């Protein structure tokens, strides 16, 4: 399963990210159809995981994750609602099985066997399980716990490496919506952990430097219900993205630079942190004078 995930599922998503024309429609459709047929089977196999060597849990969870990601690219996802929900709940809760694998009566009173995924003490297994929960579950309390777990894991270097390895940005983007209410702040907190200075920062910023990410930011910025705290957090991410010169075209494509200029004009000087970030974004985009950062500080006192 490691081989299938790495050679046939993950690599295809990476190729599509670089060039939508790399794979023919027929080939992509073939892979998606196979994933759609296999996922219900794998969902059944999860029930036997308590009887399997724990070392084999990761290949199964990894396969589930990349198969689900493959379905994002096609029309199969909408026809598998019940399978996705079951996968998400089983991965979140784990599997507890009484008795033996063969169901013999003499072992039916034995200690229950368990297989933990989202609640595993093993970081890679827990991390990928968390991403599966974020992709498949709709219950707000489950999602809140998943984001809490994600943010904790992203405080570690290994967590940041896993975030990039499993191309997690699109998973988080699905939750960057005003309609998500409380989860919106949690989702942005996850991204903010990745903006901390580390050896993974540049790779993370590159993973965000695409139309999908900037389109999502544009939709958020246009919403009048966006509160100050969310706006401040979003400005941190955009400020770091504005340092990459090639991103200027993304800011312009989605008119984010105009929205930033309007925010700079209307934001009260008392919100010094936001003002500094807005001015820094405009400066990086070549849309403000060098001394704007200094003047914003002086006017706030």
Q: Tell me: the pLDDT tens digits for 75-99?
A: 555 678 899 999 999 999 999 987 6
Note the pLDDT of residue 80: 86
Structure tokens at 118: 């989202």
Q: Where does the pLDDT of residue 111 fall: very low under 50, low under 70, confident under 90, or very high at 90 and above? A: confident
Note the pLDDT of residue 33: 87
Which tens digit of pLDDT belongs to each residue from 35-77?
A: 889 899 999 999 999 999 999 999 999 999 999 998 886 655 5
Note the pLDDT of residue 300: 47
Indicate the range of 48-57, 193-202, 245-254 predicted with least confidence.
48-57
Q: Please write down the long-range contacts of 82-89, taking CB distance under 8 Å and 24 or more positions apart.
A: 83/39, 83/40, 83/43, 84/135, 84/136, 85/136, 85/137, 85/138, 86/43, 87/39, 87/42, 87/43, 87/46, 87/132, 87/136, 88/132, 88/133, 88/135, 88/136, 88/137, 88/142, 89/137, 89/142
CB atoms within 10 A of CB 286: 10
Q: Which residue has the higher pLDDT, 34 or 189?
A: 189
Does residue 129 surpass a pLDDT of 90? yes
The dihedrals phi and psi of 115, each to the nearest 5 degrees, come to: -135, 110
**E-only strand ranges, 73-212:** 95-97, 113-115
Any idea where the domains of the chain sit in the sequence? 1-137
Note the pLDDT of residue 235: 98
Q: Which residue has the higher pLDDT, 181 or 224?
A: 224
Q: To the nearest whole number, what is the mean pLDDT of the chain?
A: 87
Indicate the range of 31-45, 91-105, 223-237, 272-286 predicted with least confidence.
91-105
Contact in structure between 229 and 185 (CB atoms under 8 Å):
yes
Mean pLDDT, range 274-287, rounded to an integer: 96
Q: By percentage, how much of the chain surpasses pLDDT 70? A: 80
Q: Calculate ∠ Cα 262-264-270, nearest 5°.
A: 135
Q: Which residue has the higher pLDDT, 226 or 182?
A: 226
Note the pLDDT of residue 294: 47
Indicate the range of 171-185, 253-267, 287-301 predicted with least confidence.
287-301
Q: Where does the pLDDT of residue 3 fall: very low under 50, low under 70, confident under 90, or very high at 90 and above? A: very low
Contact in structure between 247 and 217 (CB atoms under 8 Å):
no
Note the pLDDT of residue 301: 47
Q: Which residue has the higher pLDDT, 149 or 34?
A: 149
Three-state secondary-structure class, residue 254: coil
Closest CA to 166 of 150, 152, 177: 150
Sign of CA dihedral 254, 255, 257, 260: negative
């Amino acid at each position: 399963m490691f081989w299938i995930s790495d050679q046939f599922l993950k690599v295809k998503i990476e190729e599509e990210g670089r060039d939508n024309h790399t794979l023919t429609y027929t080939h992509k459709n073939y892979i998606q159809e196979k994933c759609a047929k296999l996922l219900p089977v794998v969902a059944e196999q999860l029930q036997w995981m308590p009887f399997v060597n724990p070392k084999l849990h990761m290949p199964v969870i990894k396969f589930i994750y990349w198969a689900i990601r493959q379905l994002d690219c096609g029309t199969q996802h909408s026809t598998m609602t019940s399978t996705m929900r079951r996968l998400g709940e089983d991965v979140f809760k784990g599997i507890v099985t009484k008795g033996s694998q063969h169901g013999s009566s003499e072992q039916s009173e034995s200690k229950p066997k368990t297989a933990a995924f989202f609640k595993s003490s093993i970081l890679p297994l827990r991390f990928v399980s968390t991403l599966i929960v974020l992709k498949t579950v709709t219950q707000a309390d489950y999602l809140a716990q998943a984001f809490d777990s994600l943010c904790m894991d992203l405080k570690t270097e290994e967590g940041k490496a896993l975030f990039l390895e499993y191309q997690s940005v699109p998973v988080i983007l699905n939750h960057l919506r005003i309609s998500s209410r409380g989860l919106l702040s949690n989702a942005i907190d996850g991204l903010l952990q990745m903006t901390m200075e580390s050896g993974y920062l540049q790779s993370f910023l590159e993973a965000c430097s695409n139309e999908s990410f900037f389109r999502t930011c544009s939709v958020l910025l246009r919403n009048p219900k966006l509160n100050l705290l969310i706006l401040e957090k979003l400005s941190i991410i955009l400020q770091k993205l504005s340092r990459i010169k090639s991103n200027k075209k993304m800011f312009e494509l989605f008119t984010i630079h105009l929205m930033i200029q309007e925010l700079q004009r209307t934001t009260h000087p008392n919100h010094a942190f936001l003002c500094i970030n807005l001015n820094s974004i405009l400066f990086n985009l070549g849309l403000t004078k060098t001394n704007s950062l200094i003047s914003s500080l002086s006017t706030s006192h």
